[in-house]
Amino acid sequence: MRKLAPVVVLITVFLLIGISGCTKTIEEGRDAYKKGDYKTAYRIFKPLAERGDVGAQVSLGEMYNRGQGVPRDEAGALKWYRMAADQGHAAAQNTLGIIYTFGKGVPRDYILAYMWYDIAASNYSEAKDREGAVRNRDAIGSTMTPAQVEQAQKMAREWKPKKEK
């Protein structure tokens, strides 16, 4: 057992050095994305997003939504937007409202659309963005029954952000 201890220490050090040496930052991913190097951006964003980086999750949602560096995949986009929205990212929440409004990769659902717009409106820090979410919410609400609006409002009130690991 004593002979294994140095081996375990060396493996641990090697893994730590390897992990930190390969870690890319969200800024490097954004730089690659801005240059149109979507394959590199994807390789950077994916592990960050899997570790709970909300910016990387939104970026992957956009990439899947637009087919940039990956095949266009509405379900893939929804997955990453939802992960970011669940952490309280207002733009991702507003995007989920849009997805449910138009049924992009999901059945059209005005109640969920209203709920996500309402949540986004409460989470945006900029007035301009908040006003956009409110306009989206009110526009979809005008097509709903009062009972549907009430249900969506209740769902929005009960929604809580999830903590990423």
Q: What is the pLDDT of residues 22-47, one digit of tens each?
A: 478 999 999 999 999 999 999 999 99
Sorting pLDDT into bands at 50, 70 and 90, what band is 6? very low
**Are residues 51 and 107 both part of a single domain?**
no
133 in any annotated domain: yes
77 in any annotated domain: yes
Report the pLDDT value the prediction gives residue 133, as an integer from 0 to 100.
97
Residue 82 reports pLDDT greater than 90 = yes
**Parent domain of 149:** 89-160
11 in any annotated domain: no
User: Which amino acid would we find at residue 1?
Assistant: M
**Are residues 155 and 94 both part of a single domain?**
yes
Among residues 50, 78, 45, 51, which one has the least CA distance to residue 64? 78
**Are residues 57 and 97 both part of a single domain?**
no
134 in any annotated domain: yes
Please return the burial class of 121, using the count of CB atoms within 10 Å of its CB with bins 0-12, 13-18 and 19+.
buried
8 in any annotated domain: no
Domain boundary among 42, 57, 87: 87
41 in any annotated domain: yes
Other residues' Cβ atoms within 10 Å of the Cβ of residue 151: 15
Report the pLDDT value the prediction gives residue 8, as an integer from 0 to 100.
40
Report the pLDDT value the prediction gives residue 12, as an integer from 0 to 100.
37
**Are residues 93 and 83 both part of a single domain?**
no
* Torsion angles phi and psi, residue 146, rounded to 5: -55, -35
**Are residues 69 and 105 both part of a single domain?**
no
**Are residues 83 and 122 both part of a single domain?**
no
Report the pLDDT value the prediction gives residue 3, as an integer from 0 to 100.
56
**Cβ distance 135 to 116 under 8 Å?**
no
Residue 81 reports pLDDT greater than 50 = yes
Higher pLDDT, 5 or 53: 53
Report the pLDDT value the prediction gives residue 18, as an integer from 0 to 100.
39
Sorting pLDDT into bands at 50, 70 and 90, what band is 2? low
Report the pLDDT value the prediction gives residue 162, as an integer from 0 to 100.
87
